[in-house]
Amino acid sequence: MYYTKTLMIAAALLGSSALTAAADVNLSFIMCGDERPADKAAIEKFQVDNPGVKVAMEIVPWGNCQDKSMTLAAAGTPVSVAYMGSRTLKKLAAEGLIVPAEIPAEMVESYQPGVLKTVSYDNKYWGYPHAFSTKALYINCDLVTTAGLECKAPETWADMIAMAKAIKEKHNVAGIGIAGKDFDNTMHMFLDFLYSNGGTVQDPVTGAPTLDSQQTRETLQMYADILPYGIEGATAWERDQMKDLFNDQKLGMYVNGPWGKGQHAEKVPNQIIVPVPHGPSGVSGTILITDSIAVFKQSDPAVEAAAQKLAQTLTSGDAQYDLDKSWGLTPILQYEKLGVEAPYYVGDADWQIFVNGISTGGPEPLVTDFKSLQGVFTNMIQGVMLGEGGTVDQLVTQAGVELAEVK
């Protein structure tokens, strides 16, 4: 048992309003990706604690998982709960397909800084955060040292560009991987650097677009400056494809999440993990991305109430800690403040890189039309990579115009 305080909180919030067994309640749950032992164990315990409530979990591949949940809801046959990228929550809320998450006050205070911003819209929480990631820079030290440099964290963009240049000129391989494909992590990687330069995408209070800024221009200019030392044909690459290049000694460094350490450990044993370098207008930061458990609007209040309790069970106590630890995720809760003895990330220098970036990070923007948001960034980034669409200043100005049209 990991918990003292956290387990007590979870037990209190669930036990104080235990579901009655007056009638059977059947809950449907769509989970994206793979079955997670931590979630399975939590569901089994939930059913024991709530006789008469049955949970049927369906595992759906990521490629069509979220679309399936949204399609069922739009057709009037919603699942009870579903695992969703938090980026979908504003759209679902605006269309009246989900209900606000009933996160207890005790749990609100326990989340890592910034996590709840990823599920917040119209002064309400629309999902229970269930998986969390931050990013850092992975560096192949063998490529760096044989290029004549000390393998240490580049603190600034200028340091990073110099390191990428040295690797490229010495080994004739990409010094750094910068994503440029029409894919969501192209935007995510840009935001890692934008947030490390004091930039923003939306005003945190009003939601007004703030992308057209000096910080964005500086970030896009850095992309232009480092491009000669990056991957050839960058517009064809997404971040996750760079793992194999890094493992094959064909890439000096790139940005990835905490799971990257294990992916590279065998083939790149001499790697270091460091904070995302900062630009001239900010300090090192990272994008804060969450996936969430969403409760879909139901015609039966009993089903909706049971769904809220199931979501609370999955996202608190031992269940959430087991998920974070077993999947190698950035801790979504401040477990060291909640009575967890020796949390997996405390005292580990690499884990602290991912944890320390939380306080200076920024959320994935919440909009109703995520594809259009992604397009704004892709157009801007590909414009500078391909030398199309004008100067850095013109590309950022155009991006600001396009973002203002995204709802």
Q: In terms of DSSP bridges, do strands 81-85 and 25-32 run parallel, antiparallel, or are they unpaired?
A: parallel
Residues 6+ apart with CB under 8 A from 269: none
pLDDT (0 to 100) of residue 35: 83
For 246-275, what is the mean pLDDT? 97
Please say if the pLDDT value at position 22 is more than 90. Answer: no
Please say if the pLDDT value at position 12 is more than 70. Answer: no
Nearest to 354 by CA among 260, 258, 271: 258
- Same-domain pairing of 69 and 171: no
Report CA torsion sign: 228, 232, 236, 238. Answer: negative
pLDDT (0 to 100) of residue 147: 98
pLDDT (0 to 100) of residue 213: 98
- Per residue, the 3-state secondary structure of the chain, as one string, reads CCCCHHHHHHHHHHHCCCCCCCCCEEEEEEEECCCCHHHHHHHHHHHHHCCCEEEEEEEECHHHHHHHHHHHHHCCCCCCEEEEEHHHHHHHHHCCCECCCCCCHHHHCCECCCHHHHHEECCEECCEEEEEECCEEEEEHHHHHCCCCCCCCCCEHHHHHHHHHHHHHHHCCECEECCCCCCHHHHHHHHHHHHCCCCCCECCCCCCECCCCHHHHHHHHHHHHHHHHECCCHHHCCHHHHHHHHHCCCECEEEECCCHHHHHCCCCCCEEEECCCECCCCCCCCEEEEEEEEEECCCCHHHHHHHHHHHHHHCCHHHHHHHHHHHCCCCCECHHHCCCCCCCCCCCHHHHHHHHHHHHCEECCCCCCHHHHHHHHHHHHHHHHHCCCCCHHHHHHHHHHHHHCCC
- Same-domain pairing of 233 and 379: yes
Residue type, 369: D
How many Å is the maximal CA-CA distance in the chain? 73
Phi, psi angle pair for 256, to nearest 5°: -155, 175
Please say if the pLDDT value at position 171 is more than 80. Answer: yes
* Residue given tokens 């010094």 in the structure block: 175
pLDDT (0 to 100) of residue 18: 52
- Same-domain pairing of 146 and 275: yes
- Same-domain pairing of 272 and 380: yes
pLDDT (0 to 100) of residue 170: 98
- Same-domain pairing of 205 and 243: yes
Please say if the pLDDT value at position 3 is more than 60. Answer: no
Residue type, 340: V
Please say if the pLDDT value at position 374 is more than 90. Answer: yes
pLDDT band at 17, cuts 50/70/90? very low
Specify the number of domains making up the chain: 2
Cβ-contact 21, 302 below 8 angstroms: no
Please say if the pLDDT value at position 285 is more than 70. Answer: yes
**What's the CA gap between 195 and 286, in Å, rounded?**
6
Please say if the pLDDT value at position 78 is more than 80. Answer: yes
Please say if the pLDDT value at position 9 is more than 80. Answer: no
Tell me the per-residue pLDDT of 304-354, one tens digit each, with 9 for 90 and over. 999 999 999 999 888 999 999 999 999 999 999 889 999 999 999 999 999
Which residue range forms the structural domain that includes residue 342? 5-134+288-362
Q: What is the CATH number of the domain that holds 35?
A: 3.40.190.10
pLDDT (0 to 100) of residue 23: 63
For 249-258, what is the mean pLDDT? 97
- Same-domain pairing of 296 and 266: no
pLDDT (0 to 100) of residue 207: 87
> What value does the mean pLDDT of the chain take?
93
pLDDT (0 to 100) of residue 134: 98
- Same-domain pairing of 75 and 179: no
Tell me the per-residue pLDDT of 34-60, one tens digit each, with 9 for 90 and over. 888 999 999 999 999 999 999 999 999
pLDDT (0 to 100) of residue 11: 45
- Same-domain pairing of 237 and 386: yes
pLDDT (0 to 100) of residue 337: 87
**What's the CA gap between 242 and 135, in Å, rounded?**
15
For 81-93, what is the mean pLDDT? 96
pLDDT (0 to 100) of residue 2: 47
pLDDT band at 211, cuts 50/70/90? very high
- Same-domain pairing of 297 and 395: no
Query: Of all residues in the chain, what percent carry a pLDDT higher than 70?
Result: 94
Please say if the pLDDT value at position 105 is more than 70. Answer: yes
Tell me the per-residue pLDDT of 215-237, one tens digit each, with 9 for 90 and over. 999 999 999 999 999 999 999 99
- Same-domain pairing of 87 and 110: yes
- Same-domain pairing of 268 and 303: no
Residues in the chain, how many?
407
For 278-290, what is the mean pLDDT? 97
- Same-domain pairing of 126 and 156: no
Global pTM reads: 0.92
**What's the CA gap between 91 and 81, in Å, rounded?**
16
